[in-house]
Structure 1
Amino acid sequence: MQDSHSERMNAAEGRAAGGLALVFAFRMLGMFMVLPVLATYGQELIGATPTLIGVAIGAYGLTQALLQIPFGILSDRIGRLPVIYFGLLVFALGAGVAAEAESIHGVIAGRVLQGAGAISAAVMALLSDLTREQHRTKAMALIGMSIGLSFAVAMVIGPLLTRAFGLSGLFWATAGMALLGMLIVALVVPRSTHPLSHRESGVARRELLTTLRNKDLLRLDFGILVLHAILMASFVALPLALVEQGGLARDEHWWVYLSALLIGFFGMVPFIIYGEKKRRMRRVLAGAVAVLLACELYFLLFGQSLRTLVVGFVLFFTAFNLLEASLPSLVSKVAPAAGKGTAMGVYSTSQFLGAALGGMLGGWLFDQGGLTWVFAGCASLSALWLIIAATMREPPYVTSLRLPLSAAALADAGLVQRLLGTAGVTDAVVVAEEAALYVKLDTEQLDRTSLERLIEAPSAC
């Protein structure tokens, strides 16, 4: 008989993972497409100032940060699909408001409304409902890849769409993507017959205070906040630097982003492999933050020509891609066994807060002192992050699992103690109301099959 843990996803799981990855991708594509163009094309809007353009760039992050956890909790109560449909509709309405706006204030209002369609937690919870335990990590990884790909595509097609149809056309395309996402949910994603409420993909309010007290997690939350603050602030300045100092017409920026993202993506891969294989992710993380700091100083001191700016872009996106890929994995490693969903919820909230703060800070700094102030401000944030990252401990190299328990295993009072005494198990928690075990293990010392045999073994063994 084939091992159930080695078999592929079934058709329904494949449709769920692929469909929800597309929903995520289209939504994030619409969110990111404005980054490379708003600083240049936004100057034509009535009332536009660098500060307000920065607010427009990051405004979506504020409502995302405020609403994503409440929307996730709401999806546990009223169902995933109503929350997802509502969120996508609100996102589309926000894009429509921005598309029809003639002033920067209208675009800001549209971006705020877009952010209010905060469906990330509900989509991840639906994915958990529709996939088996052994395939859930792969399905979530597919969504993670779709987000990264959408960012790369947005950097290229955002300038191309805006060149062809203007900012209004760009926002209408964003609205269309949200409506297409609704169609995918309706026609492709299977219906869930057994909604789950568990601590791997959702926020557990009882775990929230513990998560906020965990210093290792707080370092990572601060890191993603700073990373996205730097990203948004940099995109207030970098498109303008390409025009003013690089002499590159705003319609031609796409090839710079495409080149930098492609080289940056392949450039980060060896460092990810090194960090995971050699178990040196702390060193890799600190090194990437140091490169980010060096990039901002490089832009500040040497970004006076197109050639030097392109070199800076390549280094910037190599460090950014590396950090964007590493941080969620580190959160998963550091989070307590039964607190992964809560830790990721706080992490995502920090990410969106960083986007909001970065856009506002970048616009204000540009108003005060132009490109110089923006790059200096981003360098200061990077330096602060580097100091905090240097105090981080090497993370445990473990895998988080949620395993359903049989009635006999659930009644085994010595289960947790027996597991914690086993080499390779670093944390284990039984959640009786879910009839499930949350466990963290080093797969180099203990594989899943051996763990399951250990769980079902009688306590007297």
Structure 2
Amino acid sequence: MLTTNPMTALERRVVAALALLYSFRMLGLFMALPLLALYATDMLGASPLMIGVALGAYGATQALLQIPLGWLSDKIGRKPVILGGLALFVLGSGVAALADSVQMIALGRALQGAGAISGSVMALAADLTSEEQRTKAMAVIGISIGLSFALALICGPLLAAWGGLAAVFWMTAALAVLGMAIVLLGIPSAETRSHESVGANRNMFRPVLADPVLQRLNGSVFLLHFMLTASFLVVPAVIERSMGVPRDLHWQVYLPVLVISLLGMYPLLRLSERGGRSSLALKITVIMMPASLAALFLGSNILLLYIALCGFFTAVNYLEAALPSLVSKAVFAHGKGTALGIYATCQFLGAFVGGTTGGLVYGSTGLSGLLWLVLLAAALWLVLIWRMSPKSRSQGAVSAA
């Protein structure tokens, strides 16, 4: 029976510190998601399009700069790039906190995203852990992202109820400053390795982009974040108007819904663990998302609205956990870092395009137009994955029609 050595004390400390750093940053980005569509409507320049741009602006700069900053960290070291990225995040948070218009919030969000340190953090984790422990380290950091999303939906409304959007953005700045302290005081320096195993290797771009299964998974995460960002133009308003919950109490809706959605992931995870069933679990959740949103946008019964929210977040949470795992299993030798770098770029790009397109459509055609946009994206997603059968490279060839 194969056994693996446990992490050393240094590795445990490093992984915990990097997971905390990553979660602080993502918490700051996610907290605005359930708030902007409610609180920005009274600001100068408010329109569905501009609110959508503000929601997704961080995704554009993340997508553009994540891989280049990862390469830069190979040249000048991880810590300078991470500290510089966190400083940009603090600056962007301050701009958004002081904003008196939606355009300035969008600028602040774009500056937050410009501190694109995801690749550098993952590379630093690889520098400071053994090859045997690297997958475990990446998994812990990945889990921290999911927890950040759940916490953001609860903490964001609580903070906004106390001090409005400004309080939320000042808190994101404070979290980034804490992140800088973690980097300076809690993480040792290390010899910088090449980006080949954890970052984007230039020589691997062509084979990764040409792989049919990876194409489908990259398209999947793009469409997931497209639909997620577009839907949050309306979800907070549905909770306030259709469910009759004041905006300062939205956390009381999100908390039980998120707990139930985490429990709802269990049967999907069990299904995906059975040989060859991950594709079926993926298709089920792709159908669940638009079906839940249709019920949420069009329904009026309180119980139905709660069920719809639970279905929506169950699908989102499962997909956020499952898709990167499928990428890791599908990618060929020495291509994992490049594949995950391209995957993350598609994820952030989806957030930007979803916010911008969703805002444009919602402003022009209203709720029905936004729902049709989401349904169209889901239909495209189903066509993309319908004949995909992702398997681990260690188990054999990947099949894709």
- Fold shared per TM-score above 0.5: yes
Q: Which residue of 2 aligns with 1:170?
A: 168
The residue number in structure 1 matching 2:77 is 79
Does residue 332 of structure 2 align to residue 329 of structure 1? no
SS of the residue 1:329 aligns to: helix
Q: Which residue of 2 aligns with 1:405?
A: none
1:312-344 CA distance string (max 9 Å, x none): 110000111111111001111111111111111
Alignment deviations for residues 206-239 of structure 1 (CA, whole Å, 9 cap, x no partner): 1101111111111100100000011101100111
Work out whether residues 161 and 170 of structure 1, in 8 Å CA contact, stay in contact via their aligned partners in 2.
yes
* d(CA) in 1 for partners of 2:173, 2:220: 31
Structure 2 residue aligned with 1:397? 392
Give deviations 1:368-392, integer Å, cap 9, x for gaps.
1222222221111111101111021
- Highest RCO, 1 vs 2 (Cα 8 Å, sep ≥ 6): 2
- Give the number of the structure whose alpha-carbon radius of gyration is greater: 1
Determine whether 1:234 maps to 2:231: yes
Correspondence 1:55-204 to 2 at 5 A? 55-192=53-190, 194-204=191-201
Distance in 2 (CA, whole Å) between partners of 1:81 and 1:343 is 23
What is the CA distance between 1:27 and its match in structure 2? Answer: 0.1
Q: State the partner residue of 1:446.
A: none
Q: Which amino acid is the alignment partner of residue 32 of structure 1?
A: F
Q: TM-score, normalized by length of structure 2?
A: 0.96
Partner of 1:376: 372
- The gaps in structure 1 that reach 5 residues or longer are 400-423, 428-439, 441-461
Q: Alpha-carbon deviation of 1:23?
A: 0.5
- Range 4-13 or range 31-40, more displaced: 4-13
Asked whether the equivalents of residues 87 and 119 of structure 1 are also in contact (C-alpha less than 8 Å), the reply is: yes
Length-normalised TM-score, structure 1 = 0.84
Q: d(CA) in 2 for partners of 1:247 and 1:361?
A: 28
SS of 2:324's equivalent in the other structure is helix
Of 22, 25, 39, the residue aligned with 2:23 is 25
Tell me, in whole angstroms, the C-alpha distance in 1 between the residues paired with 2:87 and 2:357. 30
Higher helix share: 2
Q: Distance in 2 between matches of 1:206 and 1:6?
A: 31
**RMSD across aligned positions (CA):** 1.7
- Once the two structures are TM-superposed, the CA of residue 398 in structure 1 deviates from its matched residue by 4.9
Alignment correspondent of 1:205: 202
Aligned ranges 1:284-323 → 2 under 5 Å: 284-301=281-298, 303-323=299-319
> Where in structure 2 are there 5+ consecutive unaligned residues?
none
Deviations 1:418-440, CA, capped at 9 Å, x for gaps: xxxxxx6x59xxxxxxxxxxxx9
Distance 1:139 1:398 in 2: 21
Q: Which residues of 2 match residues 440-459 of structure 1 at below 5 A?
A: none
SS at structure 2 position matched to 1:349: helix
Cα separation, partners in 2 of 1:198 and 1:115, compared to 1, 3 Å: closer
SS at match of 2:4: coil
Q: Structure 2: how far apart are the matches of 1:319 and 1:391?
A: 20
Note closer, same or farther for the CA distance 1:199–1:190 as it changes in structure 2 (3 Å cut).
same
Distance in 1 separating the partners of 2:303 and 2:370: 20
Q: Which residue number corresponds to residue 349 of structure 2?
A: 353
Aligned to 1:236, the other structure's residue is in SS state coil
Residue 387 (structure 2) pairs with residue 388 (structure 1): no
**In structure 2, distance between residues paired with 1:398 and 1:215:** 13
Aligned to 1:281, which of 278, 283, 295?
Answer: 278
3-state DSSP class of the match of 1:35? coil
Alpha carbons of structure 1 residues 233 and 170: separation in structure 2 relative to 1, 3 Å: same
The letter for the 2-side match of 1:395 is P
**Which amino acid is 1:350 matched to?**
C
Preserved contact between residue 24 and residue 147 of structure 1 (Cα < 8 Å): yes
Matches within 5 A, 1:407-422: none
